[in-house]
Structure 1
Amino acid sequence: MFKKILATVGIGAAKVDTILQTEHLQPGQKFSAEILIQGGDVEQEISGLDLALMTKVKVEDDNGDYFTNHVIESWHIVDHCTVAAGELKRIPFEARLHSETPITELNQGLNQTQVWLATGLNIDMALDPTDKDPIYVYPNEAVRTFMQAIERCGFNLVKSDVEKGFLQASTFQSTSGCYQELEYKPNASNLFDLKEVELSFVPEAHKTHVLIELDRAFRGDGYIDMTIEHDQVNLSQLCDQLEHLLN
């Protein structure tokens, strides 16, 4: 009886850990993991096990800006199971990273982008153990080449963050409930009438959409968008397209 009471208040509770085959991924890439549930001092009934792909988003409201956690995608792993005292359960898991997962691996500017996998057990009448595993997200070839092109056009990346909301353009819209903004400033050799350029990417399986926000010194702000087919990525062509769009 005493051990049963200890279990309901979370003492000696089961613990969970997710072991990723690799934490270095690109948006849309498949990943494999093994979820370990380690039993505590007593047998416990687990009412659910969930895995969530998370990021930190900036929210703007009347009280100012603040950051909060956002679920990009979630997976329900187990509905119900019993974990015996000291038992180790191993659950294999495979999924695909959401195609709109923000990029974390940027080599310039103030990088406020974070992405992680959160694993949680739902134990009736008990404290909920959680596990948090960082994900290092790299740009796909189209995004990487586009970033190289805008740098060749005379812009430097100064800031990256993720904002809450959806993007919508003439030919595409986002689905994850958040979007990453890469903020670029012109360098001394820049020839365009621009104070700032912000890029947001919406990748799909075979193409990547780009929404470009232009902050012009004399002509006001504006938006343009374009789509890069993954089998037609070419740095020189992207530089030419960007120069035309930015003029």
Structure 2
Amino acid sequence: MFKKILASVGIGAAKVDTVLQTEHLHPGQKFHAEIIIKGGDVEQDISGLELALMTRVKVESDDGDYFTNHIIEKWRVGEKLTLQPGEEKRIPFEARLHSETPITEFIAGYNQTHVWIQTGLNIDLAIDASDRDPLHIYPNEAVKACMQAMDRLGFRLMKADVEKGYLRAPSFHSTSGCYQELEYRPQSGGMFGIQEVELSFVPEAHKTHVLIELDRAFRSDGYIDLTIEHDHVNLSQICDQLERLIH
């Protein structure tokens, strides 16, 4: 009985560990994992197993900005089971990352982007056991070309973060409940009065939408957008497009 009481507060309870085939992924990519559940000191009933794709988002409020965890997508795995003391179960799992998963792998002055897989066991009468696995998310070719074009146009990536909310434009809208902002500034003074450019991306299966926020001196912020077809990614053309839109 004493062991059951300890297990109910997490001491000697069952543990979960998700082993990813790779932590290096792209938005929208399928990933494979093995979920390993290890029994504790006593028999425990597992009423559910959930995996969640998580990120850290900035929330703007009247009391100031703050950061909180945000679920981009969630998956439920397996059925109810009883785990004997010391027993080990291995469950294969595969899923696809949300196409709007924020990018973590780039060079920025200040990168506040974090993405991970959180695995949790729902254990009857006990604290949930959980496991957290960081992910390295790389840009698709369209996003990569946009970032290279901004560099060619004389802009430097200063900051990246993820904000809570949705993006909306006449031809597209986001669905994940959060969006990433890449904040660029001109390296040699404000060109055409531009002080800052923020890029946000909404990738789909065959194209990526780009929402561009322009901060110009002596003028209010403005928004423009463009769409890049994945089978027509051309760096020179994207450079020309961005230069026309920004200037």
TM-score after normalising by structure 1: 0.97
Structure 2 partner of 1:80: 80
Structure 2 partner of 1:103: 103
Give 3-state SS (helix, strand or coil) of 1:183's partner: strand
**Would you say 1:191 and 2:202 are equivalent positions?**
no
The 1:238–1:9 alpha-carbon spacing in structure 2 relative to 1, beyond 3 Å, is: closer
Question: Match for 1:191: what amino acid?
Answer: M
Give 3-state SS (helix, strand or coil) of 1:75's partner: strand
Structure 2 partner of 1:36: 36
Structure 2 partner of 1:51: 51
How big is each residue's C-alpha offset from its partner over 1:110-136, in whole Å with a ceiling of 9 and x where there is no partner?
A: 000000000001111111111000000
Give 3-state SS (helix, strand or coil) of 1:61's partner: coil
Give 3-state SS (helix, strand or coil) of 2:180's partner: strand
Question: Structure 1: where are the runs of 5+ without partners?
Answer: none
Structure 1 partner of 2:113: 113
CA positional deviation for 1:189: 6.7
CA positional deviation for 1:217: 1.0
Whether the aligned pair in 2 keeps the contact of 1:154 and 1:190 (CA below 8 Å) is no
Structure 2 partner of 1:123: 123
Give 3-state SS (helix, strand or coil) of 2:94's partner: strand
Whether the aligned pair in 1 keeps the contact of 2:108 and 2:160 (CA below 8 Å) is no
Q: How far apart are the structure 1 equivalents of 2:6 and 2:243?
A: 67
Number of corresponding residues = 247
Structure 2 partner of 1:236: 236
Q: How far apart are the structure 2 equivalents of 1:3 and 1:57?
A: 39
Structure 2 partner of 1:137: 137
Q: How far apart are the structure 2 equivalents of 1:207 and 1:166?
A: 18
Which deviates the most, 71-80 or 90-99? 71-80
Give 3-state SS (helix, strand or coil) of 2:149's partner: helix
Q: How far apart are the structure 2 equivalents of 1:10 and 1:148?
A: 48
Question: Structure 2: where are the runs of 5+ without partners?
Answer: none
TM-score after normalising by structure 2: 0.97
Whether the aligned pair in 2 keeps the contact of 1:153 and 1:190 (CA below 8 Å) is no
Give 3-state SS (helix, strand or coil) of 2:76's partner: strand
Q: Sequence identity, in percent? A: 72
CA positional deviation for 1:137: 0.3
Question: Match for 1:37: what amino acid?
Answer: I
Give 3-state SS (helix, strand or coil) of 1:64's partner: coil
Give 3-state SS (helix, strand or coil) of 1:192's partner: helix
CA positional deviation for 1:87: 0.6
How big is each residue's C-alpha offset from its partner over 1:16-73, in whole Å with a ceiling of 9 and x where there is no partner?
A: 0000000000000010000000001111101111000000000000100000000000
Give 3-state SS (helix, strand or coil) of 1:239's partner: helix
Whether the aligned pair in 1 keeps the contact of 2:180 and 2:200 (CA below 8 Å) is yes
CA positional deviation for 1:77: 0.7
Give 3-state SS (helix, strand or coil) of 1:126's partner: coil
RMSD of aligned residue pairs (Cα, Å): 1.2
Structure 2 partner of 1:215: 215
CA positional deviation for 1:190: 6.0
